[in-house]
Structure formats: C-alpha cells, structure tokens
Structure 1
Amino acid sequence: MKIVVIGGTGLIGSKVITRLGEHAHQAVAAAPSTGVNTLTGEGVREVLRGADVVVDVSNSPSFADDDVMAFFRTSTTNLLDAARAAGAGHYAALSVVGTERLPESGYMRAKAVQETLIENSGLPYSLVHATQFFEFAGGIADSATTDGVVRLSDGGVQPIASDDVAAAVARTCAGAPLDGALDIGGPEAFGLDQWIRMVLAARSDPREVVTDPQARYFGAILGADSLLPGPGAQLAPTRLSQWLARE
C-alpha cells in the first residue's frame, strides 16, 4: 500500500514512516521540508496521487487560538479534497483524548473542528485519540511557569511514549478504517501536577510544582477525568519510569 504521512518528518510522523517501512508498505513522508504545504495546497495533490491511505499527524506551528484554528480548518480541508481526488480508501488522523470535553481550550476547539471535517468528509476514516506524550512534559512545565514556580492542576492524565503512539497510528492506518475513534494512553494514571513533578525531579530541575485546581491547561480548567482515555482504550506498555531511564 502507498501510505502518505502528512507531518512525516516530525516526532510521530518519522516513527510512523519507519514502522510502516518495516512492514513493506510504501510510506511517503510529506511536510513543508519535502515540498508539501497543506496550508497553501502546494504539492498536496501531487504527493497524494495514487495513495491508498492518508495519515495526518501534522500540527500547527503556532498554538495561538486563531492560528491553530486556521491551521486545522484550512489544512484539513485541503487534504480531504486531495484525498477524495486521489481515490484514497482510508483517511487517518492523530488527535487528542478529551478534545470534546475542553471547549475552553482554543487548541481543543481547533482539533474538534478537524475531527468534524473528517467525519463529514464521506471518506472512510480513523481517528486516533492519544493522551499527552511523555516528551511534552517539559513544554507543559514551561507553559505553566511563572517566576520559577510551576502551577498545575491535579486533573488526571495517562501519558504515553511517542514510540507507542507511532505504533498505534501505524497499526490503525494499515488496517481497515474504524469510521470512528480509538483512544490510546499509557499504562499509568497520574495527576498532571504529579506527573510533571516526577519528570522535573528526574531531570534535577529545581522548579517547584504547586498544585492549583484552577490552573488552566492551555486555556481550560481540568476536571478529574478530562484528559483520561475512555472505556475500551488501548493502553500502551511503556511506563514513565522506563521512559525516564531511557531518556
């Protein structure tokens, strides 16, 4: 199968390309660096020509509310039009657990629009809802830091290694379309504050993590289960301690 991975040079996309190649699929990485710009449409129809599957693991370069909405609305519309023209039989996209629960977050609102466009496209599709990646811990801490103090909610999270995300995306896109969503997460649940505290301690980062239930997570106040995967989720094997040891 020819499988085109949009965002195929990034953290997840490059790992998906490797896994698909190991299973003898023709995996093609598409990104601005390869001449494919999903916002302008440059190179999109060309790279999707003859594609059996389109996989979108791209992300907005800016998380500002208006920017991220414009990115996912425009990019997804261009990709879906090109996928239909190419006769692709499966459109798969990576999204986020809790998208529909956190409309206060501009990023989550944009991902919800992306998902709705895909669901209404008429194409067979699969949505992979992932929890927060272990690799994002530093960025989450930085976004919540003021005067050297990290203020975070104790809302539940079940973070996952990017290697495990890539494995799930590769498995899903190479299979039959779900015409629905699959939740994936790590094997352990933590409070968001607890998770980041553990990572910072392992890195000998001196910042104090203060628990604040009203602290906003990218614009949203978290409930106890806002970011936790739902019933029937696929849980990945890599534990936080194993990932930290490898890191």
Structure 2
Amino acid sequence: MRFAVIGGTGLIGSQVVKNLNAAGHEAIPHSQSTGVDVISGQGLDEAVAGADVVVNLTNSPTFDEASPAFFQTSMANLLAAAHKGGVGHFVILSIVGTDQVPELDYYQAKALQEQILAAGPIPYSIVRATQFMEFMDAAMSWTADADTVRLPATPIQPIAAKDVANAVAEVAAGAPLNGIRNIAGPEIFPLDELGRITLSHKGDNRTVVTDPAAGMFAVVKGDVLTDKHAHLAPTRYADWLS
C-alpha cells in the first residue's frame, strides 16, 4: 500500500513512516520542509496523488484560540485533495478526552478536526492518544521557577511516542474504522506525582507543589485524560525515563 504521511517529519510522523516502510509498504513523508503547506494548499495534490491512505499528523503552531482555524483550513484542504486523488482511507491522531474539555481551546480545535473528518467524503480512522511522555518537561516548564514546579493532581495516563506511532501505523494499514480507537499508557499517575518522579530521575532538586490552579490541565476535572478501557501500550514511564 502507498501512504502519504502529512507531517511525516515530526516526532510521531517520522516513526510512522519508518514503521510502515519496514512493514513493506511505501510511506512518503510530507511537510513544509518538503514543499507541502496544509494552510495554503501548496503541494497537497501532488503529495496525495496515488496514495491509498493519507495519514494527517500536522498540528497547530499554537494551542490557543487560533488553533480551531488551523484545523478548519488544513482539514478542508487535505480532504479536498484526498477526495480528488481517490484516497480510500484518511487517518488522524487526536487526544483522549478532547470532546470533554470545552474550557481548552486546543481540545476544542481537535474535536473540530474529528468532526470535519467524520462528516467528510472519505472512510476514516481516528486514533486518540493520552498525553505523550515526551511532553512532561514542557508541562512542568509552564509553571516552574528556580525552586518549584507547580502542578495539579490531574490524573493522566502517559504514553510513549513510539507506542503512539506503532498504533497509528497499525490503524493506517488496516481497514477504515469509521470511528475512534483510544490508546493509552499502562499506568495512571496524578500529574504532580509524575512531576516528582521525573525530577527525581533527573537529579533535579526543585520541589513539586500541588496546585489545583496551575497550568493548562488545571481546568480538567476528573479522569478525562485517562481511559482504562483503551488499547494499552507496553512502555511504562520508569522504563521510558531509563
């Protein structure tokens, strides 16, 4: 099978391309660096021409109120090009709980992306993942100073990027789900506790202060960012840290 992986040079996309090619498929990465622009539409027709499957792993450059416009425009352009090119399966990567946190602009934007895909003309699959282990440093940096890191006790179920890439490649190579597959890491942690584990491993002496108002995930209530019934990935956080 031939795959056009849009956003195929990034953290997840590069691994998806590698996995698909290793499985005997032909997966071609596309991004701004290869002359493909999902907002202007430049290069899209050429990128998806002859592809059996389009995997869209592009992301908004911001997580604020501008992000819905990015997904609105990029999905319209990609779906038009894919439909014109006769693509039979369209795959996106989304977030577990994205439709349950209306307070977060970025989550609203990802929910909009899902809605656009589901309403479109092409059989589709949505892979929803929990928070990436690779993003923990960024999450801590939002509310950190020289002595402390402030984090809420929001439950999260972190997943390694390599496991996300494996799941996306598997879904992309299969029949369209015309629905959603949730994937998650094997363990659930309060975010503040995960911060302590991370700092301890790094030998970082800063103190994690539990603050229910700190950071982007402060508005998340309950266990929205976890899914005990998801397809569980194998990599544990301690093993990933090591």
Matched to 2:51, the amino acid is A
Aligned residues of 2:139 and 2:215 also touching (Cα < 8 A)? no
- Name the CA distance, whole Å, in 1 between partners of 2:140 and 2:215: 12
Where does 1:144-223 land on structure 2 (aligned, <5 Å)? 144-146=143-145, 148-217=147-216, 221-223=219-221
1:213, CA displacement in angstroms? 2.4
Number of residue pairs matched? 242
What is the DSSP-based 3-state SS (H/G/I as helix, E as strand, rest coil) of the residue aligned with 2:87? coil
1:207, CA displacement in angstroms? 2.6
Matched to 1:80, the amino acid is L
The aligned residue for residue 228 of structure 1 is 226
What is the DSSP-based 3-state SS (H/G/I as helix, E as strand, rest coil) of the residue aligned with 1:127? strand
Matched to 1:58, the amino acid is T
Matched to 2:235, the amino acid is T
1:217, CA displacement in angstroms? 2.0
Aligned residues of 1:154 and 1:224 also touching (Cα < 8 A)? no
What is the DSSP-based 3-state SS (H/G/I as helix, E as strand, rest coil) of the residue aligned with 1:73? helix
Aligned residues of 1:158 and 1:185 also touching (Cα < 8 A)? yes
Q: What are the superposed Cα offsets for residues 178-233 of structure 1, whole Å, 9 maximum, x if unpaired?
A: 10001100000001111122112211223321112233425x512220101253x1
The aligned residue for residue 106 of structure 1 is 105
- Name the CA distance, whole Å, in 1 between partners of 2:206 and 2:7: 33
The aligned residue for residue 24 of structure 1 is 24
- Name the CA distance, whole Å, in 1 between partners of 2:25 and 2:69: 32
The aligned residue for residue 240 of structure 1 is 237
The aligned residue for residue 122 of structure 1 is 121
Unaligned runs of 5+ in 2: none
Matched to 1:201, the amino acid is S
Deviates more, 1:26-35 or 1:192-201: 192-201
- Name the CA distance, whole Å, in 2 between partners of 1:119 and 1:3: 20
Return the TM-score normalized by structure 2: 0.96
Return the TM-score normalized by structure 1: 0.94
- Name the CA distance, whole Å, in 1 between partners of 2:29 and 2:239: 29
The aligned residue for residue 45 of structure 1 is 45
The alignment status of 1:80 with 2:84, answered yes or no, reads no
Aligned residues of 1:94 and 1:129 also touching (Cα < 8 A)? yes
Matched to 1:135, the amino acid is E
Unaligned runs of 5+ in 1: none
Deviates more, 1:191-200 or 1:108-117: 191-200
- Name the CA distance, whole Å, in 1 between partners of 2:168 and 2:25: 14
What is the DSSP-based 3-state SS (H/G/I as helix, E as strand, rest coil) of the residue aligned with 1:126? strand
What is the Cα-based RMSD across aligned positions, in Å? 1.3
Aligned residues of 2:146 and 2:206 also touching (Cα < 8 A)? no
What is the DSSP-based 3-state SS (H/G/I as helix, E as strand, rest coil) of the residue aligned with 1:99? coil
Aligned residues of 2:5 and 2:29 also touching (Cα < 8 A)? yes
- Name the CA distance, whole Å, in 1 between partners of 2:63 and 2:43: 24
Q: What are the superposed Cα offsets for residues 115-171 of structure 1, whole Å, 9 maximum, x if unpaired?
A: 110010021100000001110000000112256432221111100010100000000
The aligned residue for residue 4 of structure 1 is 4
Cα 1:143–1:41 shift into 2, 3 Å: same
- Name the CA distance, whole Å, in 2 between partners of 1:210 and 1:163: 30
What is the DSSP-based 3-state SS (H/G/I as helix, E as strand, rest coil) of the residue aligned with 1:100? coil
